[in-house]
Amino acid sequence: MNKEQLVESARKIMENAYIPYSKFPVGAALLLKDGTVINGVNVENVSFGATNCAERTAIFTAIAQGYKKGDFQAIAVAGATQDYLSPCSICRQVMVEFCSPEMPVYLTNEKEEILELTLKELVPYAFSTLDM
């Protein structure tokens, strides 16, 4: 699967976001090393701290399905934003826990442009097990 297909998967899944409060849909498509794609959406809650982001939904679903740290090949994040939609800090930390620093992260915007970064570029000073 190429990055355009992964981004399209993230864009399409946005329709399933549960966003009664913010009206801000986000979709994520997580590519596993075996070629499987697991999608995630943001799921809001009236208690905003209980809200889960699309990126974490995809990663946690992969873990629940038996995938392990190191099984992740790339992730795409899509939203209807003018600028590239970047993962929040909590999602970045979860990505650092499960993904390689060299894993591609594809950020998109409403113009369907794609910004490709590595996780290390997205989180240059990540808190990791090396810091424990």
d(Cα 36, Cα 9) in Å, to the nearest integer?
12
> Is position 99 annotated in a ligand binding site?
no
25: number of Cβ within 10 Å: 19
DSSP state string for 22-56: T---EEEEEEETTS-EEEEE-B--SSGGG-B-HHH
The catalytic residue among 55, 97, 102, 116 is: 55
**Active-site residue 55, yes or no?**
yes
Residue whose C-alpha is closest to residue 103's, from 129, 76, 85: 76
CA distance 8 to 86: 16
CA distance linking residue 108 with residue 74, whole number of Å: 14
Residues designated as active site = 55
Binding site feature residues: 53, 88, 91
Binding site feature residues for Zn(2+): 53, 88, 91
